[in-house]
Amino acid sequence: MKKTQIALIAVIAVIVGYLFLQPVKGLVKPKEEKSNGMVAGAKPAEAAANVSVEMISAAAKTAIGADLSAKIVDLEGQLKAATGTEKTKLQQELAKQWDDVAQPAPAAFYYMALAREGNRFDNWLKAGTRFNEAYRATQDSSIQGAMVLNAVEALQAATKLQPSNLDAKAGLGVAYVNGGSANPMDGISLLLGVVKEDPNNRVANFNLGMFSLKSGQFDKALPRFNKVIEQDPSALEPYFYLAEAHKQLGQKKEAIAAYEKCKELMRNRPDFVERIDGFIKELKN
């Protein structure tokens, strides 16, 4: 399987996973008292410690197959005996290799290791961003909890080094809403602050749209996804979620148009197109 195919599958998996997402805790009334999938009373540090790079990497290797993981396995073997600058180089290469095959979770752990060692802004930001992406890419609640906690650590460190950096602020806002803060509105406030400074900020607009969608505020989601599409008309995800928002508002014509755009962007994936055709058929009936 080619790297581009892996990246495409990763995007589709996130989109399909949306259908099973629960509302954001704190934005709407939760069904039960849980946070990030962790059992009430569990210590956050312990929950995060239970999710290791070895565990995450093993699952990711299964996802990408033996051919694409061969070089990664070799690098991991070298890392076990490495020290000093050689260890740092191997961690950087492993992070890059995982990025190249669209696997944010293991990449995040390696960027985090680099950041903790060298305290560089770019590594903290990359780690936090990848942990946020990994949160969205999995439906395993225990893993989601670890991703959130790590994202908060990384992005708080990034904002401490560069307090005015909007990417770091937006990422931290996402992590807070996902459960990294006792009050999810802290995260919404950060994201709104980002779009106030930069109305075109893709990360902030996309996630504000997602949180509006998940909390049933479909009318508020529409302008957010449209803004993201203005910045990148070839991006699949905002079209799909735009369609979902229109559908929930009873705006069938607009929903069908957005779904048709999804089909156009994914014409090489007949399985995904077939699923979208099913959504369109439901709207036409």
- Per-residue pLDDT of 42-82, as tens digits, reads 445 555 668 899 999 999 999 899 999 999 999 999 999 99
Res 89: pLDDT: 98
Identify which has the larger pLDDT, 37 or 68.
Answer: 68
pLDDT, tens digit (0-9, with 9 covering 90-100), for 216-231? 999 999 999 999 999 9
pLDDT at 162: 98
Q: What 8-state DSSP symbol labels residue 199? A: T
Question: What's the CA gap between 34 and 23, in Å, rounded?
Answer: 12
Mean pLDDT of 93-100: 96
**Between the CA of residue 85 and those of 9, 16, 99, 161, what are the distances in Å?**
35, 41, 21, 23
CB–CB of 111/95 below 8 Å?
yes
Phi, psi for residue 218 in degrees, rounded to 5: -65, -35
| Residues in the chain, overall count | 285
- Residue ranges of the alpha helices (H) in the chain? 3-18, 44-49, 53-64, 66-81, 84-100, 104-118, 121-137, 141-161, 166-175, 185-197, 202-214, 218-231, 236-248, 252-265, 270-284
- Span 260-282, mean pLDDT? 91
Residue 34 in this model has a pLDDT that exceeds 60: no
6 has a pLDDT exceeding 90: no
**23, 115 Cβ separation under 8 angstroms:** no
Q: Show the domains of the chain with their CATH numbers.
A: 1-17+43-163 (no CATH), 210-279 (1.25.40.10)
Q: What is the pLDDT of residue 173?
A: 97
Distances in whole angstroms, Cα of residue 225 to Cα of each of 141, 185, 209, 241, 252: 26, 20, 6, 7, 17
CA dihedral (202, 145, 143, 159) in degrees, to 10, reads: 40
Structure token digits, residue 175: 């992590």
Q: What is the pLDDT of residue 35?
A: 41
pLDDT tens, residue by residue, 127-175 = 999 999 999 988 888 899 999 999 999 999 999 999 999 999 999 999 9
What pLDDT is stored for residue 17 in this prediction?
53
- Residue 29 — pLDDT band, cuts 50, 70, 90? very low
pTM of the entire predicted model: 0.85
Number of Cβ atoms within 10 Å of the Cβ of 122: 14
